[in-house]
Amino acid sequence: MGKKTEALLAILQLQPVVPVLVVDRVATAIPLARALVDGGLKAIEITLRTDAALDAIKAVADEVEGAEVGAGTILNARQYEAAVKAGSRFIVSPGTTQELLDAATQSEVPLLPGAATPSEVMALREEGYAVMKFFPAEQAGGAAYLKSLASPLGGISFCPTGGITVKTAKDYLSLPNVICVGGSWVAPKALVEAGDWAAVTELAVQAKALATT
């Protein structure tokens, strides 16, 4: 196992649920991240789906003690480099291209590459990857589909993301080839807009507890 894989696993093994965040305003990023960390969710993925994303990543990396912030929805080498420069500790992509793999090879920051089919998983394994994002999880076949990959594609661990809820998370977390899940339910837009950080922390506590239920 390479150093970058070990570094990625060290982050993903911190908790059963990695919050997947769409941050519209940098001002909300720090209290939101603190609320999640206070609830036990230290690894946080901020997606590059808004103009505020890179500044939000930098703010969390610089100012939120205990947070392991990563960048999601990375689509190309330029975004990869920008996310690393902003302070991302890990990079997440919805799928995989040779450009992304080349960027990952040249960076010290590990990539969690997206895969949804056996062929994609096999191709990534040939590139040396043993930890992948299964996306879009629910739409691509859900926990039953991922369970069917465990035997023929042994040695591969997944972080399924996409459409997962607190109710379906347990189905994934019970699988031998799942290390954690990605979820947006721990930071609902309504709570974030209201600044109800105590409620976000409570959702984080409940998500953290999924590891023991």
pLDDT per position as a tens digit, 72-113: 999 999 999 999 999 999 999 999 999 999 999 999 999 999
Tell me: pLDDT of 213 over 70: no
Q: Residue 211 has what pLDDT?
A: 84
Question: What is the sign of the dihedral through the CA atoms of 118, 177, 10 and 70?
Answer: positive
Task: Answer yes or no: 133 catalytic.
Answer: yes
Asked if residue 57 lies in contact with residue 84, where contact means CB atoms within 8 angstroms, the answer is no
Q: Is residue 211 part of a domain?
A: no
Catalytic pick among 42, 45, 58, 68: 45
Tell me if 209 is assigned to some domain.
no
| Any domain includes 142 | yes
Its domain, for residue 146, covers 3-204
pTM exceeds 0.85:
yes
Give the domain CATH number at 141: 3.20.20.70
Q: How many domains does the chain have?
A: 1
* Residue 170 is a catalytic residue: no
Residue 117: name the closest of 104, 99, 135 by CA. Answer: 135
Cα 194 to its chain centre, rounded Å, is 24
Among residues 4, 58, 133, 208, which one is catalytic? Answer: 133
- pLDDT, tens digit (0-9, with 9 covering 90-100), for 163-201: 999 999 999 999 999 999 999 999 999 999 999 999 999
Does residue 137 sit within a domain? yes
* Contacts of residue 136, Cβ cutoff 8 Å, sequence gap at least 6: 94, 116, 161, 162, 163
